[in-house]
Chains A and B, each alone.
Chain A
Amino acid sequence: MPVATANAPELDRNVIAACQRGDREAFRLLFEKYKDRVYSTALFFSGNEATARDVSQEVFLKLFTRIGQFRGDANFSTWLYRMVANACVDQARKVRRLVPLEPEMDISGHVVRKPQERNAQRNEVSDAVRGALDKLKPSLRIPLLLRYVEGMSYHEIGEALGCTSGTVASRLNRGHKILAKKLGHLRGAVELGV
């Protein structure tokens, strides 16, 4: 199944138009393009694989039913990641009121996508950062994930979250400082670029 490349906006527009006509194959293309980043955001936000799967499925099903509302005058990924952010926060609210039946799964051993990341020290840093993310408030966690998983600009993050770029900058600032405070012991590993 061919996957749309990230630098093919023309392909995206055609694929979106086909999805709006109900083309299942086109929807599969969109899914293949965005599935890893959507799932990663949901996983690092919730810290739970089952929750991440549920949230990801919910997002793509909403995308399928609402793609007819996408007018093309906005950035598609911003529109999509607004759905991701809302789904993550909604899920967090539900979980707050439920007693977990099983212990949370440890995501630190999850497969890392990049084949070159075999170095144990880099995995240690990634695992530590993802663990620290879990301790952040949702309002600080989401902008970090949209920036570092989705690669969005401050303006795009603001559009997705319905806030100003200034608020995004403020939250990222706070998030970065908390990460630095919690994981200062990894300064050496990070400075070595491992």
Chain B
Amino acid sequence: MFGHAKHQLSAYCHGQLSPDESCWVARHLRECVPCRMEYENVRLGVDLAENIGVVTAPESLWSGIEAALDNPALLPAPEPPRVRPWGWVALRPAWPAVAAALATLLLGLWIGRSTTNPVVDDYAGLPPDGVRILGPQPVMVNLASYVDPVQAAPRGESIRAITSAPPEFQPCEAEKLTSLGLARVLEERPLPGFELLEQRIHDYRGQTITQLVYSSEGQAFSVFVAPRAMRFSFGDEYLKDTTVGGIRCRQVDCPYQRTYEFEGANRFVLVSKSLDEVRSAQVMRYFLRAEQDAH
């Protein structure tokens, strides 16, 4: 293990680490003052949370349930068993009626969301990794399996997570970037000192998502480019509206990563561990200008 122990402290308090990891954390806490101070805070939080307790359910709870059991009309309709998709395979309802009902429900939820905080916050909905067609709605891409390791990695280890490929992404030739209108990224750098390390794509139903990975010494960031009609989500992480260097975007609400979603003619996601706001804005401005020039 490398770096600091800050991300392992709750797991350490709860005995959820392996014996080796636990020993490493214990040793690190003896040597590292900032992590030890962080541990004191987490430990206090754990001690406080242990007082949450359990309360007694009211006696009337069963009578309400029993009334519904005696009147089948009050029971919720049983759901068909869920088919869990693997990788980027879409969830395909077997019956058109179920598909139409699902599309209508999702359209209603989408319209009903607050316009100031368009958050994707569905615990039950999105598959862990994958693309799901939502009837007439945009194709949704869940980057959780890519972003979670970035979030969890200690700062010195994050470069490996950022430069990795999400499931189903494959390296592509330079010609493919040219055909997508991204030719200039082959010759230019969005940030001084950062070189284009990898370019990968994933084609799904005629839509192409591109991943461009840039690295410098000890740092890296990744930019995803997709048609504007596609939408990104990040597992259970919330997105908050923000402005970075004058660019309106949405930021994943997590202090352990810097992930921004922004849009021009295309939809972009910038993922880094610690790129500051000035440089993040520089990257976003570069891609927005590049697509303007291409059009």
**A-facing residues in B44-82 (Cβ within 8 Å):** 44-58, 60-62, 64-65, 68-69, 74-79, 81
Extra 17 A-B pairs, beta carbons < 8 Å, given A53-B60, A176-B48, A177-B38 = A53-B58, A113-B53, A129-B51, A138-B121, A144-B52, A149-B54, A154-B16, A162-B126, A166-B151, A167-B148, A169-B7, A169-B8, A169-B11, A173-B9, A176-B41, A177-B41, A184-B44
Inter-chain CA distance A139–B149, complex, in Å, is 18
Also in contact, A31 and B62, with CB within 8 A (given A40-B54, A176-B10): yes
Inter-chain CA distance A147–B62, complex, in Å, is 25
In the complex the two chains form, is B236's CB within 8 Å of A170's CB? no
Q: Which residues of B contact A147 (CB under 8 A)?
A: 14, 49
Residues of A that sit less than 8 Å from B by CB: 24, 27-28, 31, 35-40, 43-44, 49, 53, 56-58, 60-62, 64-66, 68-69, 82, 85-86, 89-90, 93, 96-97, 110-114, 117, 122, 125-126, 128-130, 132-133, 137-139, 142, 144-145, 147-149, 153-154, 161-167, 169-170, 172-181, 183-184, 186-187, 190-191
Inter-chain CA distance A110–B55, complex, in Å, is 8
**Given A60, A82, A112, A180, which contacts B48 in the complex, CB threshold below 8 Å?**
A180
Also in contact, A163 and B144, with CB within 8 A (given A138-B121, A175-B45, A179-B45): yes
CB distance from B47 to the nearest CB of A (A): 4
5 contacts between A and B (CB under 8 A): A39-B58, A148-B49, A172-B10, A183-B48, A184-B44
In the complex the two chains form, is A176's CB within 8 Å of B62's CB? no
The residue of chain A having its C-beta at the shortest distance from the C-beta of B70 within the complex is A24
B88 at the interface (CB under 8 A from A): no
Which interface class (under 10, 10 to 19, 20 to 34, 35 or more) fits B? 35 or more
| Chain A to chain B: the 9 pairs with minimum beta-carbon distance, closest first | A176-B45, A39-B57, A180-B45, A180-B44, A166-B152, A35-B57, A179-B45, A172-B10, A86-B124
Q: Which residues of B contact A53 (CB under 8 A)?
A: 58, 60-61, 64
In the complex the two chains form, is B69's CB within 8 Å of A129's CB? no
Also in contact, A40 and B53, with CB within 8 A (given A31-B65, A86-B123): yes
Q: Which residues of B contact A57 (CB under 8 A)?
A: 61, 64-65, 68
B135 at the interface (CB under 8 A from A): no
Q: Which residues of A contact B10 (CB under 8 A)?
A: 169, 172-173, 176
Inter-chain CA distance A163–B128, complex, in Å, is 7
Also in contact, A153 and B236, with CB within 8 A (given A66-B78, A169-B11): no
Inter-chain CA distance A74–B56, complex, in Å, is 27
Q: Which residues of A contact B79 (CB under 8 A)?
A: 66, 69
Q: Pick from B56, B123, B128, B236 the residue with the most CB of A within 10 Å.
A: B123
In the complex the two chains form, is A89's CB within 8 Å of B42's CB? no
CB distance from B219 to the nearest CB of A (A): 21
Q: Which residues of B contact A174 (CB under 8 A)?
A: 255
CB distance from A100 to the nearest CB of B (A): 17
The residue of chain A having its C-beta at the shortest distance from the C-beta of B152 within the complex is A166
CB distance from A184 to the nearest CB of B (A): 7
**Given A130, A142, A149, A169, which contacts B152 in the complex, CB threshold below 8 Å?**
A169
In the complex the two chains form, is A175's CB within 8 Å of B11's CB? no
